Chain A
Amino acid sequence: DQQVKQNSPSLSVQEGRISILNCDYTNSMFDYFLWYKKYPAEGPTFLISISSIKDKNEDGRFTVFLNKSAKHLSLHIVPSQPGDSAVYFCAASPYSGGGADGLTFGKGTHLIIQP
């Protein structure tokens, strides 16, 4: 049973436009949500996170939105740049701070930025 779902295996967006990556979860105990970014032949790196007490967190071009009632979060990248082409993993934790304890990952979405 997948507790964190990323239903789009891939997404293609034109450079300069907005990229929206979606993530759904089923476990109501999840309290903290993270996005990791992964380039080919490299390990994932932390990108941005959000606590369940917030509905939005912004860091430069990256914004994460959380809709707790719908158990849905999304990552917005504006404007999209070629270097944003990567696989993006959504992850959720039942604990605040997003530590490794209890962290559950989605399958990832491969974002392709078209020039």
Chain B
Amino acid sequence: SQTIHQWPATLVQPVGSPLSLECTVEGTSNPNLYWYRQAAGRGLQLLFYSVGIGQISSEVPQNLSASRPQDRQFILSSKKLLLSDSGFYLCAWSRHRGRNSPLHFGNGTRLTVT
């Protein structure tokens, strides 16, 4: 069976500090990988998706970046955090980006930028 791991679960970082959130998927190969964010009072917003190693698409302009150094590893980064980066970050995977391919979410990372 497939599992998705995301860490850390919570993180408190000062403004201007760097960020690295990691997500790995087990039990499947060549998954599509996603980073979502839920800011306070908002829905889940797609930030990045990746269909393969080194292939990253950004959905919204922002202070964050994503990388996929390995097939089942997806990393969310920032060089300098902003207060507005606070939120709940979710990694997800699917078999492909098309139809009949549901999203499977990790447990999320609660990021507080102070």
**A residues lining the B interface (CB < 8 Å):** 2, 4, 6, 9, 41-46, 89, 91, 95-101, 103-108
Q: Mark B89-108, 1 if CB is under 8 A from A, else 0.
A: 01010101111111101111
Contacts of A91 in B (CB 8 A): 44
A-B CB contact pairs (8 Å), 13 listed: A4-B43, A9-B41, A43-B6, A43-B105, A44-B105, A95-B99, A98-B102, A99-B97, A100-B101, A101-B97, A101-B99, A105-B44, A106-B43
Q: A97 near B43 (CB under 8 angstroms)? A: no
**B residues lining the A interface (CB < 8 Å):** 4, 6, 9, 32, 34, 38, 41-46, 49, 90, 92, 94, 96-103, 105-108, 110
Contacts of A106 in B (CB 8 A): 43
Q: A107 near B41 (CB under 8 angstroms)? A: yes
Q: Given the complex of chains A and B, what is the CA–CA distance between A99 and B104 in angstroms?
A: 11
Q: A20 to nearest B CB, angstroms?
A: 20
Q: Which residue of B lies closest to A42 (CB)?
A: B107
Q: B105 near A97 (CB under 8 angstroms)? A: no
Q: B99 near A99 (CB under 8 angstroms)? A: yes
Contacts of A44 in B (CB 8 A): 44, 90, 105
Contacts of B105 in A (CB 8 A): 43-45
Q: B98 near A41 (CB under 8 angstroms)? A: no
Beyond known contacts A98-B102, A99-B102, A100-B32: 15 more, CB 8 A cutoff: A41-B107, A41-B110, A43-B6, A44-B44, A45-B105, A89-B43, A96-B99, A97-B99, A98-B100, A99-B97, A99-B98, A99-B99, A100-B102, A105-B43, A108-B38
Q: A46 near B102 (CB under 8 angstroms)? A: yes
Q: Which residue of A lies closest to B93 (CB)?
A: A100
